[in-house]
Every structure is written in C-alpha cells, then in structure tokens.
Homo-oligomer: A and B are copies of this chain.
Amino acid sequence: MVDDPDLIYLDGNSLGRLPAATVARLERAVVREWGADLIASWEDRWWLLAEEVGDQLAGIVGADSGSVIVADSTSVVLFKLVIAALQARPIRRTIVTDDLNFPTDNYALQGAADLLGGGRQVVRIPSEDGIHGPIGAIEAALGEDTALLSLSHVTFKSGYLYDMEHLTRAAHEVGALVLWDVSHSVGVVPLQLLADQVDLAVGCTYKYLNGGPGAPAFLFVNPATAATLPNPIPGWWGHQRPFAFDPEYFPDFGARRFLSGTMPILSLSALPPGLEMVNAAGVDAIRRKSRALTEFFCELANTDLAPLGFTIASPGNADRRGSHISLRHPDAWRITRAMIETARIVPDFREPDNIRFGFAPLYTTFREVATAVARIRDLVDRGVHLEFGAARSRVT
C-alpha cells in the first residue's frame, strides 16, 4: 500500500486503497501490452483476462470457475440479470426488495420492471428502524407472484448483513429467483454462493477488493440456470465465436453469455493484485479481524463518543453486520469535514446525518481505530467542527 503514516483511512468500503503491486502491473499493461505489443495482446493476454479475474473472484465468492465474470458497472450487470430473471419468470409480476438497498440498485429494478411492463412492480419493504433488514416482512411479501427477490447482502448505510442462505431458501420456496448485490460484503464476509444455491449475484471490485476507482463489476450466474437465461444486451464478447463476426448471435455458455462489449482493459488490468491479496489472506481470517475491528470501534464509540451526541446506526450484533459502522450525529456533515480537514481521518458522509466508517482488515489497524476515536472526541469536544459551514458540495 502507498504509505502515509498520518492518514487514518476509514473509507475502504467506498474506495479500497492502492496495492503496491498494482503500480507495476498497470505500467506493464500500458507500456508493454498496449504500447509495444499492441493488438497481439488481445490473444496473448487481454482476451483471457476477464476470465482469469472471474476465476480469482470465483474463489472469493464460493463459486465454480466459469460462473463468475467481470463486466460493465454494477448498475449495468444488475440490469442485465434483473431482466433475465423477469423473463425467466414471465407470469410473475413482483420484484421484492427493501428500502435499505443501494438506491441505484432500486433504480435499476424499477427501470427493468417499467421496461418489461405487463404490470410488473417493485415492492420495497421498509426497515422498521432504518438499520436492520425487515426479514419477517420480506418473507411475508414473498408469494406466487414474486419473480425475484433482490437485496444488498450488506446494506450500504447501516451495514446490516442479511442471512443469505435463509432468504435464498425462502425465495425458492415460493418459486422466485434471488439476486444478491454483494458489493459491500465481497472480500470481507465469507460467501458461499454455490452452496447457498444463489441464482444470481453482482458486486463491485473497488471496495474491499482494492481494484481501483470505478473498477469493473462482476456477476455470478448459477450454472444450474445459466443456459436458460438470455442476455438482454447481446454483444460480441458474449458470442460463442466472437472473432467470427457472425451476423447471427449465438450466446456463449455459462456466465460468459452475459458479456456485451469490449472491456476497459486498463481498469481490468488493475484488478489481479487486490484479488491475490484477498485470496492469500483468506476471507475467513479477514472476517475474524473485521468483526474484532467493528466490535472495538463500537465499544469506543459507546464510551467516548455517545456522550457527545453520537449514536450507532448499525446492528449491535456483530453476526448481523458487515465491515462498516454508521454513526449518526446532528452535526454529521460538519464533523465529517473537520475530520478530513483537521484530523487526517477519512470516513464518508451519507445523507442526512450519517458518518460511515469502513474497516478494511487488510490495512486498518486497531491502533488506527483507537486513534481515530480519540481524535474525533477531541475535535467535537473542542467544537472544531463548528468552524465548518453547513453547505454541502455536490460530491461528499
């Protein structure tokens, strides 16, 4: 990792840090593969890269080789799989989700329902406390009209961790398909997509997988159903013989059929070092440290920050949370600015009053957690945040 001893970076759940090996890897991709080898790199390297990276990911999410591919952005792969799922359950009209889901996921669900029409609708089950997933209400909502259950495995704001196996089974009991967005769990919570009989999953690679800003997304399609699902955006990368330039489209087998156009190779080339680190450490070990980090932070938040008006807006039970913790505070925005600009701590702010702290076990230390809490207590205690305006910029 690029080192800055002063900085306490607690936003690895938004943008993971730069692995040292990635610098050389990318330079090679640019200077040698593109600059010198030019189109020969398609055959020698790039064409296979998406599959290689998919296989590295398969190990991390508990899937078989060939069932995970890297492609597009999370929104686009989500859209593709939602359309495919709705088409695989043509007489069912309902998609069930919750209001803790990442908003853009819900835009895509709604967009897909609107596009296919026929009375299709998204039912968004509300969380009672804005923190915990409404499991009971979700189970009650599942029925013979449910085509798809789609949820974030770990929710983006509160960090609630759903029981994937349990809800997948519940969806299957009514004949629905299930699609998990594992963006906030992949690489930090053990996943068993195949053992849990998950039908579909998507995720992003730039959080705990350290793949770089806006790195390509990935998708998982269970081999049991892959062959029956059409890609709504057919493209040459998903063709059985891409370089035949066949006038007719013949979809490839397995997850590959969900590829569309040419992949952004430079961004893709940045992925392997981060994936190698996660595979080397092992997700079980990463999860153990993650639990210990969030436990430690919650303990300190309760003793040192609660008296200053902070409340924890994440599950108290470590079994039911991912690797980030949200604190609420009426002055959350100004405190976030003060942390970044005066205390060398980087969390992120989420509307309206959440400060989100991400703990990336590969590089976040217990000492950093303790120091961060001490610095936050100090700055709020001294009213440093009151010097910051309440006006918000476009990007926070």
How near does chain B come to A95, taking the closest CB pair, in angstroms?
A: 14
- How far is A231 from B76 in the complex, measured between Cα atoms in Å? 12
- How far is A46 from B206 in the complex, measured between Cα atoms in Å? 14
- How far is A244 from B394 in the complex, measured between Cα atoms in Å? 9
Residue in B11, B17, B39, B156 whose beta carbon sits within 8 Å of that of A35 in the complex = B17
Q: Would you call A262 an interface residue if the criterion is a C-beta within 8 Å of the partner chain's C-beta atoms?
A: yes
Whether the Cβ atoms of A23 and B30 lie closer than 8 Å is yes
Q: Would you call A27 an interface residue if the criterion is a C-beta within 8 Å of the partner chain's C-beta atoms?
A: yes
Give the number of chain A interface residues (Cβ < 8 Å): 90
Protomer copies = 2
Interface string of A262-274 (1 = CB under 8 A from B): 1111111010000
Whether the Cβ atoms of A115 and B232 lie closer than 8 Å is yes
Residues of chain B within 8 A (CB-CB) of A239 are: 104, 107
Closest chain B residue, CB of each to CB of A42: B395
Residues of chain B within 8 A (CB-CB) of A39 are: 11, 14-15, 346, 348
Which of the 9-residue segments A143-151, A167-175, A211-219 touches chain B? A211-219
Known: A111-B234, A232-B115. A30 touches B18 (CB 8 A): yes
A residues sitting closer than 8 Å to B (CB atoms) are 2, 4, 9, 11, 14-15, 17-18, 22-23, 26-27, 30-31, 33-36, 38-43, 46-47, 72-76, 79, 83, 99, 102-104, 106-108, 110-111, 115-116, 124, 156-157, 204, 206, 212-217, 231-237, 239, 241-247, 249, 260-268, 270, 340, 346, 348, 350-351, 393-396
